[in-house]
Amino acid sequence: MRAIALIDGNNFYASCEQNIDPSLLGRPVVVLSNNDGCIVARSPEARALGISMGEPYFKSRHKLKRFNVIVRSSNYALYGDMSQRLMRLLAMHCKNIEVYSIDEAFVQIDRPPDQDLLPWAHHLRALVHQSLGLPISIGIGNSKGQAKLANYLAKNISTCAGIFDLNSNRKNKELLKKVNIEEVWGVGHKMSHWCRVRGINTAQELHDINSHELRSKFGIVGVRLLHELRGEVCLPFKVIPSPKEQTCVSRSFGRPVTSLEELRQAVSSHIVLASEKLRRQNQLAGAITVFTHTSPFCHPFYKQSATTQLNTPSNDTGVLLTASWALTKKIFQPYRLLSKAGVIMQKLQSTDYLQVNLLEKHNSSKDLQRRERLMKTIDNLNKRYGNKTINWAVCISSQHWDMRRKHLSHSKTTHIIDLPIVYS
């Protein structure tokens, strides 16, 4: 029989930071979100100090200092690279793999004749630790929902060494009675509130609920969740990721933005990144949206967005920059303390097929090909000689609005100048 396992890196970002700087091992470490906004990862030592997930940094700064906690800004170049290494290693030891997020993968694995997958799991866990220095947890079940639940148990039962198989455990019912409803995958704020009001407080109580009741309240989503929890596969296993339907680049500003010129620079910088992303994904955008808003924590709140359809779908930075300028003018209002701006590429389609507009006056296909070669050349130069080697004039400025990253670690695994030096 085939089982599904969920494998994830424990406190992934914090573990990556400890990995490139071993002096952090055994010490409390937290990693902040972009713009040094919130705490998004904690080492076990930081967790033990009562530092909670999602806490705004400015609120906990004093506490962190008092406890001598190491603080790091998020370093996605590092985490992305470590993630790739992890996924490659997992793929070598599993039948099929579905990369679910930067630090998680579902894998399919055949059960051996004696049904016991624990030896496989122990071996894999040791191998990852030895090869990458990353601690992982492995949860095994019959469906993704069960694998998620098993992974939670793997992390929270101290005696199981980061591995839990729902199929080889006779005390499941007792254990599931101790799992709070909020911990079940797919149960969010709204559903957990409804459950609590109805006296459904644990994973086991949800497991035993009448499915009609859940269906009438939460529709097909609720029913699927329940069946998955019971081990019936409803969510497909995706070995090949589906192409993206939209791609977004947005950032909070390091300080409020009030001028059209600064908003334009920020939006343009996001367009440049988003266009690069599209080209990496071999996709063209059929429409783009530009948005901005003031801080949701201050009144009055202002938010505005504008969308335009492209006559011919494109991933050409020049074309998208031009389109975004008109939109930026539309959403700008003076005297607003803007806190964030972003762009969303929509109606994405593969570069394999280009549907041109019947009514539009076209560039010749020769022109389009020339632009394509230009974009490719820019991408290659930036890849080879570093980001922004070739930049767009509209993005070049002092960038006072750029995000805060005061505690950034080095890109020791992706930048040649940051490589660690070993003295012998």
Partner DNA sequence: TCTGGGGTCCTAGGACCC
Of 168 and 202, which CB lies nearer to DNA in the complex structure?
Answer: 202
Instruction: Please name which of 324, 347, 221 lies closest in space to residue 270, comparing C-alpha atoms.
Output: 324
Binding residue for DNA, selected from 10, 19, 167, 250, defined by CB under 7 A:
250
Q: How far is the CB of 331 from DNA (least distance, A)?
A: 14
Binding mask 389-408 for DNA (x = CB under 7 A): --------------x-----
**Which DSSP category does 130 fall into?**
H
By CB under 7 A, is residue 144 in contact with DNA? no
By CB under 7 A, is residue 262 in contact with DNA? no
Binding residue for DNA, selected from 65, 190, 329, 362, defined by CB under 7 A:
190
Stretch that binds DNA, among 202-210, 241-249, 322-330, 376-384 (CB under 7 A): 241-249
By CB under 7 A, is residue 72 in contact with DNA? no
By CB under 7 A, is residue 33 in contact with DNA? yes
- Say if residue 103 is exposed, middle or buried (CB neighbours under 10 Å; 0-12, 13-18, 19+): buried
By CB under 7 A, is residue 135 in contact with DNA? no
Stretch that binds DNA, among 43-51, 91-99, 156-164, 184-192 (CB under 7 A): 184-192
For residues 135-157, one letter each, b for 16 or more C-beta atoms within 10 angstroms of the residue's C-beta and e for the rest, the string is bbbbbbbbbbbbbbbbbbbbeee
By CB under 7 A, is residue 185 in contact with DNA? yes
Q: Which residues pair with 303 in a beta bridge?
A: 293
Binding residue for DNA, selected from 342, 375, 395, 413, defined by CB under 7 A:
342
Binding residue for DNA, selected from 92, 126, 221, 396, defined by CB under 7 A:
221
Query: Which residues contact residue 73 at a Cβ distance below 8 angstroms, ignoring those fewer than 6 apart?
Result: 31, 32, 36, 404, 405, 406, 407, 408, 409
Say if residues 316 and 275 touch (Cβ distance below 8 Å). Answer: yes
Of 216 and 365, which CB lies nearer to DNA in the complex structure?
Answer: 216
Stretch that binds DNA, among 30-38, 108-116, 353-361, 380-388 (CB under 7 A): 30-38
**Which DSSP category does 168 fall into?**
G
Instruction: Please name which of 148, 236, 153, 161 lies closest in space to residue 187, comparing C-alpha atoms.
Output: 148
Binding residue for DNA, selected from 91, 157, 161, 248, defined by CB under 7 A:
248
Q: Which residues pair with 345 in a beta bridge?
A: 247, 288
By CB under 7 A, is residue 37 in contact with DNA? yes
Stretch that binds DNA, among 159-167, 219-227, 325-333, 384-392 (CB under 7 A): 219-227
Stretch that binds DNA, among 37-45, 138-146, 258-266, 325-333 (CB under 7 A): 37-45
Q: How far is the CB of 311 from DNA (least distance, A)?
A: 15
Of 43 and 294, which CB lies nearer to DNA in the complex structure?
Answer: 294
Q: What is the DSSP string of 81-105?
A: HHHHHHHHHHHHTSSEEEEEETTEE
Query: Which two structure tokens, joined as six digits, stand for 41?
Result: 């990862």
Phi, psi of 251, deg, nearest 5: -145, 145
By CB under 7 A, is residue 306 in contact with DNA? no
Say if residues 293 and 303 touch (Cβ distance below 8 Å). Answer: yes
Q: Give the residue carrying structure tokens 């992974």.
A: 151
By CB under 7 A, is residue 313 in contact with DNA? no
- Say if residue 173 is exposed, middle or buried (CB neighbours under 10 Å; 0-12, 13-18, 19+): exposed
How many residues in the shown chain lie near DNA by CB under 7 A?
Answer: 46
By CB under 7 A, is residue 192 in contact with DNA? yes
Q: How far is the CB of 406 from DNA (least distance, A)?
A: 11
Q: Cα(271)–Cα(382) distance, rounded to whole angstroms?
A: 16
Residue ranges of E strands in 27-149: 29-32, 39-42, 70-72, 96-101, 104-110, 136-141
Binding residue for DNA, selected from 10, 19, 21, 34, defined by CB under 7 A:
34
Q: Cα(339)–Cα(401) distance, rounded to whole angstroms?
A: 9
By CB under 7 A, is residue 249 in contact with DNA? yes
Residues that bind DNA (CB under 7 A): 33-35, 37-38, 40, 54, 56-58, 100-104, 148, 184-192, 219-221, 242, 244-252, 256, 277, 295, 297, 339-340, 342, 403
